[in-house]
Amino acid sequence: MNPNRQFQAPQQFHNIEEDGLYQLRDIVRRYFRYWYWVVLSLLVCLAIAFLINRWTPPVYMATAQFLVKEQESGINLFEQRLFSNPELQLTNQMIMLRSRPIAELALKRVDFEVEYHYHGIFSKIERYPTAPILVEVDWKHPQIVEGEIEVSWNDSQNFKLVFPEESYQLTQVGLETSTKIDPPILELNTFDFGKWVETPFMRFKVSLTSSESGGRINVKIREKNSLINEFAKFIQVRPLDKNSTILELAIETNLPAKGRDYLNALMEAYLENELVQKNLTASNTMSFIDTQLIGLEDSLNYIENRLETFRSANRIYDISAEGSAVFSRLAELDRELTQEKLKREYYRNLQNYLVKEDYNEIIVPSGLGIEDPILNNLIKNLLELQNQKAYLMTTQKAASPAVREVNRKLEDLNNSIRQLLVNVDENAAFLISDLERRTVQVEQQFSRLPAKEQNLLRIQREYTFSESIYTFLAQKRAEAAITKASNTPANKIIEYARVSETPITPKPIRNYALAFSLGMLIPLLFVLGKVYLSDKVKDIKELERKSLVPILASVAFRKLYDELVVFADKNSGITEAFRSLRANMNFVLPKDQASVILVTSNTSGEGKTFCSMNLASVYSLAGKKTIIIGTDLRKPKIAKEFALTNDRGLSNYLSGQQNDWRLLVKRTDYEHLDALLSGPIPPNPSELIGNGKLPLLIDALKKEYDIIILDTPPIGMVSETLEMFPLADAVFFVVRYNYTLKSGIDHINHLKTSQKLQNAYIIFNAVDEKEIQYNFGYGYGYGYGGYYGGDEEKEGIMGRLRKSFLN
């Protein structure tokens, strides 16, 4: 050890850049000191990654593309556009695609009600779309669901049922919720393939669809709401581009075929639902006209029979020119009158629907030949708003802002239409009254015709009237049917579902990279935590920076069973450390006169007695007449290590029981080394140390000995050590590696400044050999160990593991 290095005054200010660089190097070298933990951490993490890649069920991504056509803006009403936000329209379509009603329609197109699971090594594997058996479920019967049922067979004739789950769910016809039940107990569990299995809690049929003569498979019957919630929850809908209305539909699944089939069914169900909504008006118109045509057809047949019978009976087939003119005028008036009455009836029915706010049965006026552009546009907007509300209600509540806004618009349109109906109804009433008046005038001319001709004209007029109404309604029905047949969904499937060739999870390369990173990071966190989160002194460099007291020696650690290691092994690294300490003391202690060395520590267990004894031993080996004094009157330790009896000592001298100190000094088994033990433990050690006799004793000992070593009590636990500081030529504070608290260094600094200690030094004790090697560039490869204050250094399992790696 270089003594010049030890006596440099501690730096109070450090270059920040150099300090940071040192800390980085310190972390790196500590990290590689634990290379065996790094290797172990990497092996464990990579093994976990391998197991994850090997046994995690692969998840695939199924995707499809769906075009949402941008709707045209609504009609200008009161200088406001009802539908003018394309982003809102796109968002509504996305919500609809994720809604439960659409998921329900999609699931009706696929056969997901029954799942078939094989037994794998660590988990069950689902089979889709084919399985060796086919289960048909009768949903009109109570059914056991949401639990696996084991189906096994040994031939092609029959099978057995086992219920391995702890509980199941039971669905009831007409009820939305299911009830929890215990596993069913069957009197007979063998059933025939192809026949219905019927019990109070289930009814289904199992058919063998393969040539397998035996097998076992678990069947899981899914409850409707649970299945809908699952697929509605996991479907992903997002715009393909921010400037496009093409949506990308995606779903993650363990079964690629199942994900693909569901996406295709979802898009087709959405288009079918859109077409149903679009055809609703035409369907309502056709239903209304069909009810009218049924009655008219019967009336028309009846009148036609009357006309033929009258002509045959009266032998009159032609009418006069005057009668023909009158008939034509009456027929025209009847046609106009009938149409106006039909319009008025429509207005009244529409008024009733608006009062009841029942918009599903409303017919667009143009479907009945009412060419009122304002009324037609209002009804069209009303129906569009009603459809928009239906979309929103699939995913939102009535109190949501969007639904409340649609309700407000519906209410405004309702009021506008009702006000308009008052005017058009009055106009229709006026036209009906005028047509009836003109009809009466023509009928006066009709009365001048012959009686038979009048009767024929009456029947023919009635027939012509019914025929014209029938023809008119049939024409409107045909127009509605053509409209319905020509309707197509506005949206479109751009690309049917396809599945990624490689699974999205697990990703072996990513998992191995993550495992490698964690394998390297975990030891690094361990090192950082050990260095920066520990409250104990572990770093020589940190101790040098933090302490105002120079480090005069660093003593390595090794497990030994003799505290007097200087005598036990004169060639050990610890002995060399104390020899180096003795050499450094030549620069500190006064020359050619006796010197007093005080050894202390903050707390018990830091090795001050060990250092005192071996420091005394190394001086005695150099031929110096040395005495070690046990001034720790509370917890004496020296006697045991030197195989002496602590029957007399310092306490006898200080208490006045023995004034001749020579009678208290005991010879040890080692040349040039004597010991003045602490003696019997007194009741008042502090008072004895401070009674003034100790300085007299030291003066007397200086005349007989070259080196006097004071083994004192810990300064952090008792106060009498402070009284001995003025007696010493050098004061050593023992700091133990990974034992002394960092706060203890502050205490030592305080003592140096408050006591104005000139020759105060630190012995860094029990230092890890690698710590010395990395900080000072060399190491003895030896160390020491022992018992300090009752604390035993334990190697433990981890220490033995580390040693096995090192060896």
Which residues pair with residue 790 across a beta bridge?
A: none
Helix residue spans in 144-279 (DSSP H): 224-234, 256-278
Tokens 């133990």: give the residue: 736
Interval 425-444 mean pLDDT: 73
Res 653: pLDDT: 94
> ∠ CA 736-739-744 to the nearest 5 degrees?
80
**pLDDT band of 703, cuts 50, 70, 90:** very high
> How much is the mean pLDDT over the chain?
80
Q: Strand, coil or helix: what is 742?
A: helix
- Render pLDDT for 475-493 as a digit per residue (tens, 0 to 9): 777 877 877 777 778 888 9
- Render pLDDT for 278-333 as a digit per residue (tens, 0 to 9): 777 777 777 777 777 776 776 767 666 666 666 555 555 455 454 566 666 766 77
Interval 244-254 mean pLDDT: 90
Share of the chain above pLDDT 70, in %: 78
Res 408: pLDDT: 83
Interval 381-390 mean pLDDT: 74
Res 790: pLDDT: 34
d(CA 430, CA 441) in angstroms, rounded, equals 17
Q: Which residue has the higher pLDDT, 109 or 422?
A: 109
Res 56: pLDDT: 83
Q: Is the sign of the CA dihedral 195, 199, 204, 210 positive or negative?
A: negative
- State the maximum Cα–Cα separation within the chain, in Å, rounded to a whole number: 175
Tell me which amino acid residue 160 is: K
Nearest to 763 by CA among 589, 615, 567: 615
- Render pLDDT for 721-753 as a digit per residue (tens, 0 to 9): 999 999 999 999 999 998 999 899 999 999 999
**pLDDT band of 25, cuts 50, 70, 90:** confident
Q: Which helix (H) or strand (E) holds 520?
A: helix 508-532
pLDDT at 795 over 60: no
pLDDT at 409 over 60: yes
- Terminal CA-CA length for the chain: 27
Res 394: pLDDT: 64
pLDDT at 114 over 90: yes
Taking the CA atoms of residue 482, residue 484, residue 487 and residue 490 in that order, the dihedral angle to the nearest 10 degrees is: 160
Strands 551-556, 760-767: pairing is parallel
Model confidence, pTM: 0.57
**pLDDT band of 441, cuts 50, 70, 90:** low
Nearest to 749 by CA among 550, 541, 535, 538: 550
Cβ atoms < 10 Å from Cβ of 793 = 17
Tokens 């400044």: give the residue: 753
- Render pLDDT for 617-670 as a digit per residue (tens, 0 to 9): 999 999 999 999 999 998 888 998 899 999 999 999 999 999 999 999 999 999
Res 791: pLDDT: 38
- Render pLDDT for 591-622 as a digit per residue (tens, 0 to 9): 889 999 999 999 998 999 999 999 999 999 99
Question: What per-residue string of b and e applies to 182-212 under the rule 16 or more CB within 10 Å gives b?
Answer: eebeeeeeebebeeebeeeebbbbbebeeee
pLDDT at 558 over 80: no
Instruction: Output the 3-class SS for 236-247.
Output: EEEECCCCCCEE
For residue 587, count CB atoms less than 10 angstroms from its CB and return exposed for 0-12, middle for 13-18, buried for 19 or more: exposed
CA 62 to chain centre: 22
For residue 42, count CB atoms less than 10 angstroms from its CB and return exposed for 0-12, middle for 13-18, buried for 19 or more: middle
**pLDDT band of 251, cuts 50, 70, 90:** very high
Q: Which residue has the higher pLDDT, 222 or 530?
A: 222
Res 86: pLDDT: 62
**pLDDT band of 206, cuts 50, 70, 90:** very high
Share of the chain above pLDDT 90, in %: 34
Cα-flanking dihedrals φ and ψ of residue 764, to 5°?
Answer: -85, 105
d(CA 18, CA 321) in angstroms, rounded, equals 126
> ∠ CA 728-699-729 to the nearest 5 degrees?
15
